Structure 1
Amino acid sequence: MPYERLARRLADGPTPAVSTLPDGSVDRYCRLSAGGLNPVESRTTFAREAAAGHRKGFTLDPRAVEAGGQSVNAAQQAHALGAEATCYGHLDDPEPDRDLFADLPFDCVSMGRATVVNVLDFDDGDLLLVEESPDLREWTLADLREAAPLSSVFGDDEAAPEDRSEPGHAVFCSNWVSTPGMGDAFHELGTASIPRVPFVFDPGDVLGSDLAAHRELREAVRALARRVDVVLSVNETELRALSAALPAPPDPPVDDEDRVEAVRAAFDAFAVVKHGKQSALAATDVATVRVENPVVDDIRQMGGGDRFGGGLAVALGAGWDWPVALACGNACASYYVATSETASAATLREWLLDRGLA
């Protein structure tokens, strides 16, 4: 059983180095009200109130403020599991008298101003109102090089074992849509002198129908894959969008196994991973691997995919095989959405034991 083997691995303490990049956000969890008196607790109510035209405006009432962003969340998970995590992100708090990122328990290197995300935690799904960081929109690989040498971000060649039998280095990268310079950065990295390490890439919300934009993403990943082992990590909806935009999408009838295999071939990726509530699925150069997810009651809707990516990066950096790596990502994500907390290795192992999975 993958979860039994995961529990044994967690007891040993994974110790790879994990770098995450390039975003970062100030997440404001807000209550929405209409007219200042009536709380709006669902997307359906919000849509009805807005469409009715009776309200001139809505009130945002911040209830909590946290450091966030995909790269920050993934670094939190990697650090909690025992990895040496460093976040190279956009981590300058826009509030001059506040620094949400200063107390994070891992190394942080900022490349500019953080995005501000107002999270409306509706009963029927989160809605995000985003004030984008102008620094992230203008980010290039030169900004990363200025912040740190690539040997720090990707590890030294000598420290990255070819057979991954010993803990090495892994990278988690995210937020393609909000980072227009990422495509050029991938092409540059494809010719850079960097070690061939696992590179977990979560592009985010790639749901548009612009075929040229999808082609740009594929070509950038194909270029990057010449230097690192790209592991494309997406949810089910994103997988369907990527598959449908392929020059030769799989013929119907089609399922997610067909999609991950087709996307992997088109992107020249080391692997394509679909994460979700029911299971994780990976197409690799050897086989297609599926690991069922622990069933939990969700109390947190945002951030589970980032914990999956952080756990997956730790597992691949530590040299674990695919069933255990997928189990690690699943367990990290499921624990987070069930508890709203990022699990340490010890906590995750105890949680698996308590659920009879290990």
Structure 2
Amino acid sequence: MSYARLRDRLSSIAEESKQIVTLPDGSVDYCYRVTGAGGDRVESPAALGRHLRAGDGETFPIELVDVRPGGQAVNAATQVHALGDDATVVGHLDHEVLADLPFETHSMGPPAAIHVFAFDGEEVLFPERSSQPPDWNVDDLTAVVDWDRIAAADALCCTNWAIYRGLTGVLDRLAESADGVPVVVDPGAIELVVDADLETLLDALARAESSIDVALSVNRTEYETVAAVAGVPGEPTTDHAEAVRSALGISAVVYHGADDAIAATPSDTISVAMLETGDPTLTLGAGDRFSGALACALARDWPWEAALSLGNACAAAFVESAETADSEALDARLRDHR
């Protein structure tokens, strides 16, 4: 029933658009296909591993098949814009690939370079470390956009803390100057971060909660990493998600997975099953679409069931088509769903 009710809510987004700001990353994604013996495409990372272990050749040619805009903040803003809200991305966008984004942008410098090895429905990422900004902070943000523009947004989507550690400073400043704004925090590849560093993010989330409504949006690997550092290790279930949220002391812990999405809040814990999809076309960026859609829903104070349904629908549409779905596409997709 949650998806049937979602159709009724989609039209309300166009009726009154909200201001959603995403920050601070950006990337240029170079996508490659891998071939093996006889020129056959290697269909999965596991297959490539088997070829390497078996010694089936020493050369695996790669073919550049696409160069596209990327980065969690850019992907989330793309989904916000597609749904009809006013998206603004403050990120690292100084590249021709990112020059024509169809929404408001403010650039803080060159983007990261990400090499994406694409298989059938899954991807492996190889970021160039030299392209990652090591010392980004809130001053870099306010150098290109007025702080009041950030604090006055109807919702924020803060992404990729795993690279942009200065996001803790952004959260601290929001705690001082914002009042009740929902902030979706999608922290990036935190499994690569040492526990002591991750604790600084979790502490900043708890501090910010005094003034803003923090929703930590994580996939399965990120969820289990946060849970372990929070002292309640385990897998994402409704009961366990509430234990993690309580340990963190924030408004919501939101898990987005292949089978369901879960939101644990102080008043309730909600689970919404994922929409069925056909063969996946592209998974890279689906979680970012979920977080962008979540920000749109929270900006309207939607019930959590509706918010999770919107996030799931946007993520499922992207996985199946590799296209960011607008409200019309979502309505068509949901029309026959019961």
- TM-score, normalised relative to structure 2: 0.91
Q: Offset of 1:266 from its aligned partner?
A: 2.1
Which residue in the other structure is 1:265 paired with? Answer: 246
The farther-off stretch of 144-153 and 134-143 is: 134-143
1:25 pairs, out of 20, 24, 27, with 27
**Among residues 111, 114, 118, which one is paired with 2:111 in the alignment?**
114
* Structure-2 change in CA distance of 1:348 and 1:43 (3 Å): same
Per-residue deviation, 1:182: 2.3
Letter of the 2:265 counterpart: T
1:185-204 equivalences under 5 Å are 185-190=170-175, 192-204=176-188
The one-letter amino acid of 1:288's match is T
**In structure 2, how many angstroms separate the alpha carbons of the residues matched to 1:38 and 1:350?**
37
Paired with 1:86 and 1:320, the residues of 2 have a C-alpha distance of: 21
Alpha-carbon deviation of 1:34? 5.2
Mapped to 2, the partners of 1:257 and 1:356 lie a distance apart of 24
Could you tell me which of 312, 316, 334 is aligned with 2:316? 334
Deviation at 1:215, TM superposition (A): 1.8
Q: Which SS does the other structure have where 1:338 is aligned?
A: helix
Aligned residue for 1:180, secondary structure, equals coil
Asked whether the equivalents of residues 43 and 124 of structure 1 are also in contact (C-alpha less than 8 Å), the reply is no
Q: How far apart are residue 184 of structure 1 and its match?
A: 3.5
Whether 1:212 and 2:196 are equivalent positions in the alignment is yes
- TM superposition shift of 1:61: 1.8
In the alignment, structure 2 segments of 5+ residues that lack a partner are none
1:285 aligns with 2:282: no
Three-state SS of the structure 2 residue aligned to 1:204 is: coil
Q: Which residue of 2 aligns with 1:175?
A: 160
Q: Cα distance, 1:303 vs. partner? A: 1.2
How do 1:1-358 residues align onto structure 2 when only pairs under 5 Å count? 1-14=1-14, 15-33=17-35, 37=39, 39-51=41-53, 58-93=60-95, 99-123=96-120, 125-132=122-129, 134=131, 136-155=133-152, 169-190=154-175, 192-208=176-192, 210-247=194-231, 249=232, 256-297=237-278, 298-353=280-335, 355-357=336-338
Distance (Å, rounded) in 2 between the aligned partners of 1:231 and 1:209: 20
Aligned length: 335
State the TM-score, normalizing by the size of structure 1: 0.86
Alpha-carbon distance between aligned partners in 1 of 2:32 and 2:195, rounded to the nearest angstrom: 35
CA distance in 2, matches of 1:78, 1:257: 27
- SS in structure 2 opposite 1:260? helix
Q: Offset of 1:132 from its aligned partner?
A: 3.8
Q: How far apart are 1:52 and its partner, in Å?
A: 5.6
Which structure carries more helix by proportion?
2
Seen in structure 2, the aligned counterparts of structure 1 residues 142 and 133 have a Cα distance that, compared at 3 Å, is farther
Contact 1:113 1:135 in 2 (8 A): no
**How far apart, in 1, do the equivalents of 2:117 and 2:226 lie?**
27
Contact 1:304 1:333 in 2 (8 A): yes
Shift of 1:306: 0.7
Superposition deviation, residue 38 in structure 1 = 5.7
Q: What per-residue deviation string (whole Å, max 9, x for no partner) do you get for residues 99-147 of structure 1?
A: 1112211111111110111111123731111114646332100011111
Per the alignment, do residues 54 and 321 of structure 1 end up closer, same or farther by CA in structure 2, a change over 3 Å counting? closer
Amino acid aligned to 1:234: V
Runs (5+) with no aligned partner, structure 1: 94-98, 157-168
